Amino acid sequence: MAAKKITGYDVNKVREDFPVLTREVYPGVPLIYLDSAATSQKPKAVIKAMSAYYQDTNANIHRGIHKLAEEATYAYESARERIAAFINAPSSEELIFTRNTTESINLVAYSWGRAFLKAGDRILLTEMEHHSNLVPWQMLASELDLELDFIPVTPDGLLDLDIYEQQLKKGPKLLGITHMSNVLGTVNPLEQILLDAKAAGAVTLVDGAQAAPHFQVDISKLAADFYAFSAHKMCGPTGIGVLFGKKDLLEKMPPFLGGGEMIKRVELRSFKTNDLPHKFEAGTPAIAEAVGFGAAVDYLSELGMDQIERHERSLTGYAIEKLSQISDLHILGPDIEEKGGVVAFYIKDIHAHDVAQILDSEGIAVRAGHHCAQPLHTKFDLPATSRASLYLYNTREEVDRLIDGIHKVKNIFA
């Protein structure tokens, strides 16, 4: 077999694929986009695939027998297959299209949770979860009288795995855990964590919103019963995400939403559910968005997830090195070995919103606030942080501009 060709990663060439990166946000001020953890920018391949779908095809799926309906159905189902292959899922039947990660997690909470949990059951989450993997469980806990436990986060931004082992002894019915934190950048060592949860009899749900865009996720190597992520953080459109679920669980679960498409047969007082994955896809889905999502995973695969990960790791290391040299600036989360391309920080006596506002005047887009992880900020006794998040199109020059921008912030507040 021919050896795989290792090509260099030419970030300037990659940038040409993203039209928005050439714009000026204010006259003479070019955009420096460091907010990809909120949503990524979109390459031409995705924009073109979606507009070509609307220009040349556009029909509803799974119902018409006319040519356009057949083509639209093929485009939608082919996207599902390519996304399933992207995470190495055994079958595309196990891949349900949802609106986003948030809806995927809610689907599990509403459908699996209501059917299989009862008063007194325990759900184990972590202190670093995004609100999307907290609030649905809080809602379910108050409805069903469940107990919520949390794996603590250590001061350096890692999960306390000794306490986790103790918590497993209490027999949680579900472990809900993020693959990568959107604040600390921590990439959790899921292989062992999930195996331990399964050995303790828990169902496992992974929030992969910040993982799937940045490194190869191989679902066949993870003991994940459910794995959720969103297209918009990985070069795809808003409005679509997926829930991977193990077939045996999905088959036992009742439908989430009722309506067209999720049924095989309907009578006035009853219905029979459709096969997987359609059982969980009520109503006309986001078809053009599925086409765009398919184009996004094709784009990422062509660049190579290994290359993307290597680029981001090197850039994140550079950003941490430069930021660490700034006095009174503190970075949250672990060292580079355990961290993805998210760098949240705070500067003594300067509010995160002021930092973001001054950086914006320099064309630098960062996010300020609690990043939908308020309990984590409360734990660290911080009302807010500023966050630079890096992706496959960011450069060292942009990091240098961020550093210059932060010096400007400090001078203004000096």
Q: Which of the residues are catalytic?
A: 372
Q: Give the contact letters, 237-266, x = binds to ligand 7TS (CB under 6 A), - = no.
A: ----x-------------------------
Q: Which of 17, 93, 127, 207 binds ligand 7TS (CB under 6 A)?
A: 207
Contact indicator for 319, 402 with CB cutoff of 8 Å: yes
Q: Which of 209, 290, 323, 409 binds ligand 7TS (CB under 6 A)?
A: 209
d(CA 357, CA 335): 27
The kind and range of the H/E element at 386 are: strand 385-389
Is residue 132 at the binding interface for ligand 7TS, with CB under 6 A as the rule? Answer: yes
Is residue 352 at the binding interface for ligand 7TS, with CB under 6 A as the rule? Answer: no
Q: Where are the beta strands (DSSP E) in 50-194?
A: 95-98, 122-126, 147-151, 174-178
CB-count exposure of residue 63 (10 Å: 0-12, 13-18, 19+): exposed
Is residue 186 at the binding interface for ligand 7TS, with CB under 6 A as the rule? Answer: no
Of 55-63, 280-288, 350-358, 365-373, the segment contacting ligand 7TS by CB under 6 A is 365-373
d(CA 391, CA 336): 15
Contact indicator for 406, 32 with CB cutoff of 8 Å: no
Contact indicator for 234, 251 with CB cutoff of 8 Å: no
Is residue 178 at the binding interface for ligand 7TS, with CB under 6 A as the rule? Answer: yes
Is residue 37 at the binding interface for ligand 7TS, with CB under 6 A as the rule? Answer: yes
d(CA 325, CA 319): 10
Minimum CB separation from ligand 7TS for residue 155, in Å?
21
- Lookup: tokens for 73: 């159905």
Minimum CB separation from ligand 7TS for residue 243, in Å?
11
Q: Which of 182, 186, 188, 385 binds ligand 7TS (CB under 6 A)?
A: 182
Torsion sign across C-alpha atoms 260, 262, 268, 269: negative
**Cβ within 8 Å of residue 27, ≥6 positions away:** none
Residue 394 has a CB neighbour count (10 Å cut-off) of 26
Of 59-67, 88-96, 99-107, 398-406, the segment contacting ligand 7TS by CB under 6 A is 99-107
Is residue 106 at the binding interface for ligand 7TS, with CB under 6 A as the rule? Answer: no
Is residue 38 at the binding interface for ligand 7TS, with CB under 6 A as the rule? Answer: yes
**Cβ within 8 Å of residue 32, ≥6 positions away:** 362, 363, 364, 365, 398, 401, 402
Q: Which of 80, 371, 401, 410 binds ligand 7TS (CB under 6 A)?
A: 371
Rg for the chain (alpha carbons), in Å? Answer: 22
Minimum CB separation from ligand 7TS for residue 91, in Å?
24
Is residue 101 at the binding interface for ligand 7TS, with CB under 6 A as the rule? Answer: yes
Of 21-29, 53-61, 202-210, 280-288, the segment contacting ligand 7TS by CB under 6 A is 202-210
Angle at 197 between CA 195 and CA 203, to 5 degrees: 110
Minimum CB separation from ligand 7TS for residue 367, in Å?
6
Contact indicator for 203, 225 with CB cutoff of 8 Å: yes
Of 15-23, 111-119, 256-264, 367-375, the segment contacting ligand 7TS by CB under 6 A is 367-375
What's the residue count for the chain? 414
Is residue 127 at the binding interface for ligand 7TS, with CB under 6 A as the rule? Answer: no
Minimum CB separation from ligand 7TS for residue 340, in Å?
11
Q: In the complex, which residues of this chain contact ligand 7TS (CB under 6 A)?
A: 37-38, 100-102, 130, 132, 178, 182, 207, 209-210, 230, 241, 367, 371-372
